[in-house]
Chains A and B, each alone.
Chain A
Amino acid sequence: MNIADNQELSSHLRTHFGEGIIVHGEYVEITIGKFERVAKYLKESLGYEFLSMITAIDYIDYFELVYRIEAFQNKATVQLKLKCEKVKPVVPSLSHLWYGARLQEREVYDLFGIEFSNHPNLKRIVLWEGFQGYPLRKDFKVKSYDAGN
């Protein structure tokens, strides 16, 4: 089916999932409890088949995850946002829906310390096991350039 913009998509999603779907411009924010079901619905019923990108951002009060999912047929794109808390962040893994989520979720885990529940192989990926801290968090300081700047 054809969905013109985020407003239409979110009102469509609200009829299926109730509240907890908020539009911020180009992004659609989904609450953590409904995220997995919404993603499954987008993939299986609305034809959003290509999970292009997963990344995270460290804000002062919360972590934010950004998912970019594309539908090849309609040339449509949806960008989902997911907020999670700073202390013990755990979000649902999408790797059972998209094989392509596996390494990207491991990367987010490695660099941000955000855990993905039900991920088949959640390990460090570019850093080694035993590395202390999560480098892309804002509180991770690197001596060499924080001293000069």
Chain B
Amino acid sequence: MTLATEQFILNIGPLHPSTHGVFRMRVTMDGETIQDVEPVFGYLHRGLEKLCESHTYKQNIPITDRLDYVSAINNNWPYVMAVEKLAEIQVPLRAEYLRVIMGELQRIASHLLAVGSLMNDMGVFYTAFMYMFREREKIIDLLEMVTGQRLLYNYMRFGGVSMDFPAEFIPALKRFLNIMPSYLDEYDSMMADNEILLSRTKGIGILTPEMAVNSSASGPLLRGSGVKWDLRKDAPYSVYDRFDFDIPTGNNGDCYDRYRVRMEEMRQSIRIINQAIEQLPSGKEKVMVPLRIRPPKGETYSQIEAPRGILGCYIVSDGSTKPYRCHFRAPAFINLTLLQELLIGQKLADAIIIFGSIDLSMGEVDR
């Protein structure tokens, strides 16, 4: 006897716990196999780029924090770099080091969230997540010590950073850096050969290097596929050319490799911070710039390696106190292009993990 079968349309989201924000997938399925995916987003669209056009350059710094709210410090960076390039502001050397230390701490915090929630998506509800949050809390305490904030720090300024480190910060940071590698080992002992993790991520969601490059992917998604491209090494900005660190890459481009790349990047970030503390020069943390800065007419683009990939900022100035146009190259948004490519032909249960392994932040996708 033959059974009559038909396609089935399933709606995931907009508030499904696996979607890491307000995101909806309209999935067409044949049995358990995905035949088509239509991502629907924009629920968090606040019109940030339009908003930037009606605020002065300085007023825009806290707006950039709201792009990717789990790595706020990294979001300030390309914006202030672009304005500094336009207005020809020199940044003191100490300020560059402060930026690197804070930016790398933020990268660890962001990757901890990514790895923790990946385990969540696999059905290991909140066990790994709580371990990750134990350490993320320590980082946030450190960032709070400097900035006074716990999520959106508004830390960078044109020509430097808002505040120098308080006296108790460096000892606290050193304590954290001493203990963090042992925590990473602890995660590895829990997860690296965990049966659930291996069987749910190995060989799942394979992304070929050719496809990764062709689809403009960046960050751990690109490096997980074996493409060694990290702006900190390949187009060094700030003082990254002064540090010795490695760029971890994967071999197979599956979810497991993306998870491994994130784990390794945390270790590399610790290496960078350790060297930065040693080299930390004395000096001022910022130079004085006018409150209402008027960069000369022109346009510029600057980019950094944010936790999710290449975060760029493109600014057009018409010589007034407000940017004429301000565009952000949001890595999460561009990585999302791959969703259809990765999901079609996969099982529904794997779709959640593949989606989690891309590590999206909806604030950045929708802007």
Which residues does A use to contact B, with CB under 8 Å?
49-53, 55, 57-58, 66, 68, 72, 75, 79, 98-104, 107, 111, 125-128, 135-136, 140, 142, 145-146, 149
Contact = CB atoms under 8 A, between A and B. Distances in A.
Interface of B: 41-42, 45, 47, 49-51, 54, 211, 213-217, 227, 229, 234-235, 301, 303, 310, 312, 314, 316, 324-325, 327, 329, 333-334, 336-338, 341, 366-367
A83 to B, nearest CB: 14
A55 B327 contact: yes
A51 B334 CA distance: 10
Contacts of A142: 47, 50, 54
Going nearest first, the 5 A-B pairs with the smallest beta carbon separation are A100-B216, A126-B42, A99-B215, A126-B45, A100-B215
Contacts of B41: 125-126
A57 B45 CA distance: 19
A128 B327 CA distance: 21
Name B's interface SS. mixed
A104 B334 contact: yes
A136 to B, nearest CB: 6
Contacts of B229: 72
Name A's interface SS. mixed
Given A53-B314, A99-B214, A99-B341, A72 B334 contact: no
Nearest to B298: A25
A68 B338 CA distance: 19
Given A52-B329, A126-B366, A127-B45, A75 B334 contact: no
A135 B341 CA distance: 30
Contacts of B312: 52-53, 68
Contacts of B337: 99-100, 102-104
Contacts of A102: 337
Identify the interface centre among A55, A66, A101: most chain B CB within 10 Å of its CB.
Answer: A55
A125 B54 CA distance: 23
Contacts of B234: 72, 75
B47 A49 contact: no
Contacts of A68: 301, 312, 329
25 contacts: A49-B213, A49-B214, A50-B216, A52-B312, A52-B329, A53-B301, A53-B327, A57-B324, A57-B325, A66-B314, A72-B213, A75-B235, A79-B301, A99-B337, A99-B341, A100-B215, A100-B337, A101-B216, A102-B337, A104-B333, A125-B42, A135-B50, A142-B50, A146-B54, A149-B54
Contacts of A98: 214-216
Contact of A100 (B45, B54, B217): B217
Contacts of A52: 216, 303, 310, 312, 329
A67 to B, nearest CB: 11
Contacts of A50: 213, 216
Contact of B216 (A51, A126, A140): A51
B214 A135 contact: no
A72 to B, nearest CB: 6
Given A51-B216, A52-B329, A99 B211 contact: yes
A111 B51 CA distance: 13
A47 B57 CA distance: 37
A64 B24 CA distance: 32
Contacts of B216: 50-52, 98-101, 104
Nearest to A50: B213
A116 B303 CA distance: 26
Contacts of B303: 52
Contacts of B50: 135-136, 140, 142
A83 B333 CA distance: 25
Given A99-B215, A126-B42, A136-B50, A72 B327 contact: no
B42 A55 contact: no
Contacts of A111: 49
A55 B312 CA distance: 12
